[in-house]
Amino acid sequence: MQMIIAEKSTAAETIAKNIGETKIKTEQKGPVKIWFTNINGTPSVVIPLKGHIKDVKYPDEFKKWEERTLIDMVDAKLEYHPTAQENIDIIKDYTKKVDKAIIATDYDTEGESIGFEAISVIRGLKKGMPIFRSVFSSLTSKELSESFSNLQKPNKSIADSADARREIDLILGAVLTRFISLAAERLGNSFLSVGRVQTPTLTVIVKREAERRAFKPEKYWNFSAELKSKNKKFTAEYEKDKIFEKDAADEVRKVKGSKKATVISIVKKIRDVMPPKPFNTTDFLRSAAATGFSVPNAMRIVQGLYMKGYVSYPRTDSETYPPTLDLKEILNELGKSSSYDKYVQKIKMAPLHPTKGKEAKDHPPIHPVKLPNDKLTPQEAKIFDLIARRFMATLYDSSKEENVTVKLDIRGKVFVSHGTRSIVDGWREVYTYAKYEENILPELKENEAASVTSIKEAEEETAPPSRYSQGGILKVMEDLRLGTKATRPEMLKKLMDRRYISSSRTLIPNEVAFAVIANLEKISKELTGPELTANLEEEMKLIEEGKKSKEEVVNESRVIISDLLRKLMEKKSQIKELMHKALLQQYIFGTCPSSGGKLKMVISRRTHKRFVGCADYPKCHFGMPLPQSGYMTISPQTCPKCGIHMIEWKGKESRRVYIFCVNPKCKKKDTEKTKKTPIKAKAEAVSVQNGAKTKAEE
């Protein structure tokens, strides 16, 4: 009998169903379900883990957060403790009954580390039992069969690489998080976290916001002409889109009232637009974010689709399909769907020449492998559709577009009109997630006259650099080598969960984030910059390749962390003062419209209800309601209508964070969604029903 170790329950079930040769039997052992079948003619038990079954932690002597223990923590010996005892007990039980084990966790550094946690349990009972590794990129019957017919040896170097990362992140994170939190006197659930990847990522976001705050807008004018030719309206912009000098603007104003424009020149360009490259992890997450998903949610959904055997492994750097991938087989599978059949038939009419990008040796690009045979949630269905259409688009022909630039003379001033139209849809026909808008101009000729309907003038101000979106920051993290394809979405989620940044599509840091980064930057550019993290990732690669040991890399990192801690401790008093100022600022909603004082969150001493009150109380009784249930923080975002900071609210049972204004006079309640969900409606109802309490509750 052989024992197969899968990473999670869904994957274990998929393995048993897809390559089981006999009728599957199941058994429930407490909270863990296991599967029995024959695989490759051998009776097999498929046992799931819960991801990691052991966690690295400090000894109990460091449980209490105290400044005197920080130096000792840098060099303390770490321990690996069981976190899923039920799964471990089942592995121990079947180790006594089987003569072979196969690790079938995800094939990446994290999966190899999880696999070796199971191996350590097995070796504790049977040191000499043969243990093999199944390597696959999707949970299809074909790939699993090939994988189980060509078993490999588990790779300890890959597992050590992941464990080195875990240990370094724990040491750096625990030591520096405790120092900052102790200095700021923010302990318990309100602690302030610092991390090897999250801190330089937060630095990037904070610096962009600092640029926005320092930005001084400059006034300018622009002019546009509404024109008509052959009964078709079109628009032309003045050739200088921004006019900063008043005298120059006055010159353009002289053409107002003109009735005629003369075509000076027409330039037409036909261009072929290549189909998109196959999805790697970062491009997939950016595309999912562009369609409305948060990055962490998109990662969670695609991981679930992979575990069910519907898409390939979602953590990959590759943008080139390997020669071994049967593209026709995938097309035939997609062709069974009425939603995709017409595109599949068109693709199959010509030889397959997929687009290519960078090639990595880990896993193929993300692609569909099987049509779902059970009902998907709307979000799952949309993610699968995104992946399926992207795959088909990479096999399509180029699209062909015509770009037209028309210059017109209006009383000596040149106005320009830009037109675009699709000649051949090509890949855009199937990949409907790529935005493309036509702007078809009337057929014009040089020296031809067009009617001027009106000339409009707008007075504008230059805009600050835009904030990062969730998808945008992922690309920056990749470029700066911050984290890995597997950890980046989790790092972004951690920054949101810690309330350093808003939980919206555009990332806005709060005052605490500014204070944390300001303190750390004064002490160590290494910690806030990308170099330390990127260099450590290179060290992890050396471990993977067997050129360095885990112990060597971890001990070198301890020296770096010790130096960082020493520098921070030397400036503890300055850090404490700066943090306290920032912490006070995070409870301010804005300026009171009645007295001009500061609006702050107040919790009633008598009823313990929360509301917004004026700092000038009792002179000023202005107040606003707050939800009395769920979790709430003041958002870095301000309401575009009233200018007061909005709140980020989450129900106790909800995963989603809702951002809305609490000002009853302001109807701009929801900047994230126009359609109210039941939870959102409840949040607004609660905030209105509770009302603002002032003198009575004080």
Q: Which residue numbers are catalytic?
A: 313
- State how far the Cα of 125 lies from the Cα of 23, in Å rounded to an integer: 30
- State how far the Cα of 518 lies from the Cα of 578, in Å rounded to an integer: 9
- State how far the Cα of 344 lies from the Cα of 430, in Å rounded to an integer: 10
Strands 260-273 and 399-410: antiparallel
Per DSSP, the residues of 92-118 read: HHHHTT-SEEEEES-SSHHHHHHHHHH
- State how far the Cα of 562 lies from the Cα of 560, in Å rounded to an integer: 5
Q: Please state, in angstroms and as integers, the Cα–Cα distance from residue 337 to each residue in 174, 330, 352, following that order.
A: 51, 12, 20
- State how far the Cα of 249 lies from the Cα of 238, in Å rounded to an integer: 11
Reduced to 3 states (helix: H, G, I; strand: E, B; else coil), residue 464 is coil
- State how far the Cα of 340 lies from the Cα of 369, in Å rounded to an integer: 14
Tokens of 635: 């958002």
Is residue 396 left, alpha or beta, with left meaning phi > 0 and alpha meaning psi from -120 to 50?
beta
Tokens of 323: 């020669």
Query: In whole angstroms, how large is the CA radius of gyration of the chain?
Result: 30
- State how far the Cα of 21 lies from the Cα of 39, in Å rounded to an integer: 6
Quick check: 71 and 50 in contact, CB under 8 A? no
In the numeric block, the tokens 């401790």 are attached to 569
Tokens of 536: 């450590």
- Amino acid symbol at 498: R
3-state secondary structure 388-434: HHHHHHCCCCCEEEEEEEEEEEECCEEEEEEEEEEEECHHHHCCCCC
- State how far the Cα of 48 lies from the Cα of 470, in Å rounded to an integer: 33
Quick check: 68 and 44 in contact, CB under 8 A? no
Strands 2-6 and 42-48: parallel
3-state secondary structure 55-94: EEECCHHHCCCCHHHHHHHHHCCCEEEECCHHHHHHHHHH
- State how far the Cα of 266 lies from the Cα of 269, in Å rounded to an integer: 10
- State how far the Cα of 37 lies from the Cα of 144, in Å rounded to an integer: 15
Is residue 309 left, alpha or beta, with left meaning phi > 0 and alpha meaning psi from -120 to 50?
left
- State how far the Cα of 586 lies from the Cα of 584, in Å rounded to an integer: 6
Quick check: 137 and 363 in contact, CB under 8 A? yes
Strand arrangement, sheet containing 32-39? 25-29, 32-39, 42-48, 2-6, 100-104, 131-133
- State how far the Cα of 554 lies from the Cα of 544, in Å rounded to an integer: 14
- State how far the Cα of 620 lies from the Cα of 186, in Å rounded to an integer: 31
312 burial type by CB count under 10 A (0-12 exposed, 13-18 middle, 19+ buried) = buried
